[in-house]
């Protein structure tokens, strides 16, 4: 039975085969100091005990709703939960992570006291095997950022990052502007700039309230050719958004910072793939193809038609396989 009154916050959590971490995550959520919230957990076709764990919590707490669906990826799971969310604000949680008890309360208070549409906190990296913690090092001071200041930082993806899970976001920024997570890796990078562009201001809390578990099976821990391609495509989608909303000229320098950062990471990822396969032939050409695709993203005469060229330009990294020779 659900509360008749709509909650202030809807916590959205896609779940897929995380039985090892799920209890810790759920315990951190049900023990929040803030109480006016609901949890929407989307079981994305788990084949381990994750679904049973979720159902057990739903029987104990009437503010937990569990949706069972076939496996289609976390983007579709998040989009489904957004459609069913009743809260004024959304909080995205990864089901293998956990949060401090005051996580929701501090983010909600920051929004309400400042009138911000988004509240942002920082996080700890946590080794999932050894439990070692270290705090994300690139941070802003506690305060309130204008839309322009926040956009410049989120585009650079350093002091403010496009991660969905360390934020509280007013739901209308998704629903009013029809923003959805695309079905790809780095889907958060592809859409978070659109969310920030429509926010009136962003409240920043220079405090780590979220614990990000670094797992070998995470997106960054299992980088492959397709994920490299998606990373570059996410940058292309960002440029297309800026162009379509006449924002590129205003944020050109910040977007250029994102392109350079992406290029460096993709070079490392491509080198890592060649090294892993013990096949360095073709490495230089694949590096050049990554660079070419990102130059398209940042070209002065970029148009919507260039997105097709961009997709063609990043196909080569997708073909990196064992014994792949150019």
Query: What digits encode the pLDDT tens for the residues 281-303?
Result: 778 888 888 898 899 889 888 87
Residue of 273 and 85 predicted with greater confidence? 85
Tell me the average pLDDT of the chain: 89
Q: What is the mean pLDDT of residues 84-96?
A: 97
Contact 100, 123 (CB under 8 A): no
Q: What is the reported pLDDT for 307?
A: 64
Angstrom distance (rounded) from CA 194 to CA 191: 5
3-class DSSP assignment, residue 135: strand
Tokens of 31: 């023990």
Q: What is the mean pLDDT of residues 37-64?
A: 98
Q: What is the reported pLDDT for 220?
A: 56
Q: How many CB atoms lie within 10 A of CB 253?
A: 10
Examine the pLDDT at 129 and tell me if it is beyond 90: no
Tens digit of pLDDT for each residue in 237-260?
A: 999 999 999 999 999 999 999 999
Contact 264, 291 (CB under 8 A): no
3-class DSSP assignment, residue 11: strand
Q: What are phi and psi of 83, to 5 degrees?
A: -60, -35
Residue extents of the structural domains in the chain: 9-214, 223-318
Q: What is the mean pLDDT of residues 111-119?
A: 98
Contact 38, 71 (CB under 8 A): no
Choice among 127-131, 156-160, 183-187 with the minimum mean pLDDT: 127-131
Tens digit of pLDDT for each residue in 161-198?
A: 999 999 999 999 999 999 999 999 899 999 999 999 99
Residue of 159 and 2 predicted with greater confidence? 159
Contact 45, 74 (CB under 8 A): no
Q: What is the reported pLDDT for 324?
A: 31
Tens digit of pLDDT for each residue in 97-110?
A: 999 999 999 999 99
Angstrom distance (rounded) from CA 107 to CA 203: 8
| Pairing of the two strands 37-44 and 64-69 | parallel
∠ Cα 70 168 73 (to 5°): 15
Q: What is the reported pLDDT for 276?
A: 78
Residue 42: band (very low, low, confident or very high) from pLDDT cuts 50, 70, 90:
very high
The count of residues in the chain is 326
Residue 210: band (very low, low, confident or very high) from pLDDT cuts 50, 70, 90:
very high
Q: How many CB atoms lie within 10 A of CB 151?
A: 23
Angstrom CA distances, 47 to 19, 21, 51, 128, stand at 10, 15, 8, 21
Examine the pLDDT at 37 and tell me if it is beyond 80: yes
Task: Indicate if the alpha-carbon torsion angle 168, 170, 171, 174 is positive or negative.
Answer: negative
Q: What is the pTM of this model?
A: 0.89
Q: What are phi and psi of 213, to 5 degrees?
A: -80, 120
* CATH C-level class of 9-214: alpha beta
Residue 321: band (very low, low, confident or very high) from pLDDT cuts 50, 70, 90:
very low
Angstrom distance (rounded) from CA 201 to CA 116: 5
Q: What is the reported pLDDT for 167?
A: 98
Q: What is the reported pLDDT for 134?
A: 84
Pick the closest to residue 205 from 92, 103, 88, 97 (CA basis). 103
């Amino acid at each position: 039975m659900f509360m008749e009154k709509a909650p202030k916050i809807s916590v959205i959590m896609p779940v897929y085969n995380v039985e090892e971490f799920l209890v810790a995550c759920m315990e951190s959520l049900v023990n929040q100091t803030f109480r006016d919230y609901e949890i929407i957990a989307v079981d994305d076709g788990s084949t381990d005990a994750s679904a049973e764990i979720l159902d057990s919590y739903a029987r104990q707490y009437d503010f937990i709703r569990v949706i069972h669906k076939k496996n289609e990826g976390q983007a579709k799971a998040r989009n489904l939960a957004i459609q069913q969310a009743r809260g004024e604000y959304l909080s995205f949680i990864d089901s293998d992570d956990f949060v401090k008890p005051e996580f929701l309360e501090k983010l909600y208070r920051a929004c309400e006291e400042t009138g911000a549409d988004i509240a942002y906190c920082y996080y700890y990296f946590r080794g999932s095997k050894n439990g070692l913690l270290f705090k994300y090092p690139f941070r802003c001071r506690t305060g309130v950022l204008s839309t322009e200041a926040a956009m410049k930082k989120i585009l650079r993806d350093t002091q403010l990052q496009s991660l969905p899970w360390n934020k509280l976001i007013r739901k209308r920024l998704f629903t009013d502007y029809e923003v959805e997570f695309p079905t790809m890796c780095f889907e958060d990078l592809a859409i978070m700039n659109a969310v920030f562009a429509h926010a009136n201001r962003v409240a920043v809390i220079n405090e780590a309230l979220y614990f990000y578990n670094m797992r070998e099976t995470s997106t960054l821990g299992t980088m492959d050719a397709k994920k490299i391609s998606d990373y570059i495509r996410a940058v292309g989608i960002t440029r297309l958004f800026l162009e379509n909303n006449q924002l590129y000229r205003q944020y050109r320098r910040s977007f250029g910072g994102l392109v350079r950062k992406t290029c460096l990471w993709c070079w490392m990822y491509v080198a890592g793939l060649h090294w892993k396969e013990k096949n360095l032939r073709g490495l230089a050409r694949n590096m050049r193809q990554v660079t070419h695709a990102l130059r398209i993203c940042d070209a002065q005469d970029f148009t919507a038609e260039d997105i097709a060229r961009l997709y063609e330009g990043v196909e080569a990294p997708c073909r990196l396989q064992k014994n792949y020779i150019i």
